[in-house]
Structure 1
Amino acid sequence: MRRFQLISGVVLLVYLFLHLVNHTLGIWSLDLAGHGLVLAIKVWRSVPGTVLLYGGSAVHFVLALRTIYTRRYWKLPLAEWIRLWAGLSLPLLLIRHAVSTRLAASLYGFEPDYERIVIALITSGTQGLQLALLAPGWLHGCMGLWLRIRHYAWAQRAKPWLLGVLVLMPVLSAVGFVRMRQAVLGLNAGALHPDASLIVHQAALETWRHNMVVAYLSLLISAFLAGQLRNWLERRRQRRAPMRIGVRSL
């Protein structure tokens, strides 16, 4: 289980890393970021890329539900709470991203480029949310990977460099996105209008997004409540066991 968790986590971390790199390319130009996006789409929309990304996401999520269900104590150190919060926020990003790009492309023919994506984020008022969700997912992945490699001598030697990558990637990504936003506003002097296919099917996409978020949160809450119920039943059986032994001895 730990091996599956590690492999699926690394896949998601690579996805986030490439996503952050794409945004970072926007520091130089919108066109350069667009070329990076085209390459990323080719990778993740290929059959192997699709299996890796969505298969890895499903495996990692199922194992997270298993961990929540089987956990007996929730008195965790602060670092573990941060990692848990950061990890649970990542599917919210993946759901929004999958609906607004992959699902919109598959169902309604929306072909994303950074100008269209930035315009859609600006007009929907979700540009801040997009940036806010990238960083926790990146933090969760880096913390999880560090817990697996921190015992190696080379990892300890590289710790300052790894910490630099941890901090710089979200910062550079945010700067790149801001630069792309400025470039898009410069190219569109008038009012911004999202892609026509997104406007026509906005209600349907919002329904998809809402239902997927509700399903995700429902599974999390159900796993937690089921685990608490199991823990309560176990404690109840343990309290009754000495009473049965005492009765039998009498």
Structure 2
Amino acid sequence: MTLMQAVLRRLQLASGLVMLTYLFLHLLNHALGVWSLELAGRGLVLALRLWRSAPGTVALYGAACLHFALAIHTLYGRRHWSLPPAEWVRLWAGLSLPMLLVRHAVSTRLASTLYGFEPDYERVIVVLLTSGTQGLQLALLAPGWIHGNLGLWFRLRHYEWARRMKPALLAFMVLLPLLSAAGFIRMMRVVEAKGVRIAAVDPTLVAHQAELNAWRHDLLTLYFALIASAVILGRLRNSLERRRLSKRSLGA
């Protein structure tokens, strides 16, 4: 392994750990809803203080951009696509994660910065219920969690202590999303039991929903275009290299 490859691997690990920490706290916060909506709300306040602080903002969005750039580099540089099943699962899960981050960044951070929308669990759940996207919110958390845990396991599996702890680590990886889903579902039922109507959605957010949807659409379009470009250009490079090697072998 060259020095540059070692540096890139360390950057990938560091940025991945930051995002895995974000996902862990996000899932943990949802899981608090199993006990009460109020407890989850207090957890959300602490999470917002962490990720909206200057260090938290730089760490989260910097890690996301760096990890994505390294993923593009990896997709472009891949010489073949004969991958073991675990790698395919990790790849699928990793490519799903930015969809969650885009939705989160637009629906909460961008809405707060541009229009003053301050999220709490009740308001967020009302938005999800009225838009019919509550299932999508739950579905998008799991792939990122799977991707992060698989990536971390691929680094740790060479250590004896990690192999001994594999059953416990696997149980933790599975149980936390299940608890998170249970907490989120319970919070939705509590909000529905209160008889919250569409009118309860923040009027400022409603007024600017078209702009937020446009931001979300444009960012996701850019994301998919970059992924497709990296794969296509990588395949073209591989094809050109094979042709050069074939001409050299024929010339020899």
TM-score w.r.t. length of structure 1: 0.96
Taking a change above 3 Å as real, the CA distance of residues 109 and 73 of structure 1, as seen in their structure-2 partners, is same
2:104 pairs with 1:97: yes
Structure-2 residue corresponding to 1:34: 41
How many percent identity over aligned positions?
Answer: 61
1:199 aligned onto 2:206: yes
The separation in 2 between residues aligned to 1:191 and 1:109, in whole angstroms, is 19
**What residue is the counterpart of 2:151 in the other structure?**
144
Q: Structure 2 regions of 5+ residues with no counterpart?
A: 1-7
Distance in 2 separating the partners of 1:162 and 1:195: 40
Question: SS at the partner of 2:201?
Answer: coil
Alpha-carbon distance in structure 1 between the residues aligned to 2:142 and 2:199: 27
| Unmatched segments (≥5 aa) in structure 1 | 246-250
Greater Cα offset, 208-217 or 189-198: 189-198
Q: Does 1:54 align with 2:61?
A: yes
TM-score (norm 2): 0.95
- The 1-side partners of 2:53 and 2:243 are apart by 51
Residue 9 of structure 1 pairs with residue 16 of structure 2: yes
Matches of 1:120 and 1:165, distance apart in 2:
30
CA contact (8 A) 2:111 2:212 kept: yes
For 1:244, give the aligned amino acid: G
| Counterpart for residue 214 of structure 1 | 221
d(CA) in 2 for partners of 1:190, 1:51: 37
Any idea what SS the aligned residue of 1:74 has?
A: coil
Distance 1:191 1:144 in 2: 41
Partner of 1:108: 115
Partner of 1:248: none
Distance (whole Å) between structure 2 residues aligned to residue 79 and residue 243 of structure 1? 39
Residues 3-35 of structure 1: per-residue CA shift (max 9 Å, x gap):
000000000000000000000000011110000
2:166 is the counterpart of 1:168: no
- Residue of structure 2 equivalent to 1:128: 135
Q: Residue 91 of structure 2 contacts residue 147 of structure 2 at CA under 8 Å; is this kept in 1?
A: yes
For these two proteins, the number of residue pairs brought into alignment is 245
Shift, 1:166, TM fit:
0.5
Going from structure 1 to structure 2, the CA distance change for 1:43 and 1:240 (only over 3 Å counts) comes to: same
Q: 1:238 to 1:162 in 2, by over 3 A?
A: same
CA distance in 1, matches of 2:78, 2:251: 27
The match for 2:243 among 236, 241, 244 is 236
Shift of 1:65: 0.3
How far apart are 1:195 and its partner, in Å?
Answer: 1.3
Residues 169-184 of structure 1 aligned to structure 2 (within 5 Å)? 169-184=176-191
One-letter amino acid matched to 1:109: G
Distance in 2 (CA, whole Å) between partners of 1:193 and 1:33 is 20
1:123–1:193 Cα contact (<8 Å) kept: no
CA distance in 1, matches of 2:56, 2:121: 20
Match of 2:192 among 182, 185, 193: 185
Larger Rg: 1
The one-letter code of the counterpart of 1:156 is R
Assess if the C-alpha contact under 8 Å between 2:130 and 2:198 holds in 1. no
Contact 2:126-2:196 at 8 Å conserved across structures: no
Please give the alpha-carbon distance, in whole angstroms, between the structure 2 residues aligned to 1:151 and 1:133: 30
> What is the letter of the counterpart of residue 140 of structure 2?
L
Question: Which of the numbers 53, 65, 69 marks the counterpart of 2:76?
Answer: 69
SS of the equivalent of 1:26 reads: helix
Distance 1:111 1:191 in 2: 17
In 1, Cα distance between equivalents of 2:144 and 2:127: 22
Aligned counterparts of 2:185 and 2:227: Cα–Cα separation in 1: 34
Query: Residue type of the partner of 2:17?
Result: V
> 1:244 Cα deviation (Å)?
2.4
Larger displacement relative to structure 2 (154-163 or 139-148)? 154-163
CA displacement at 1:190 relative to structure 2: 4.9
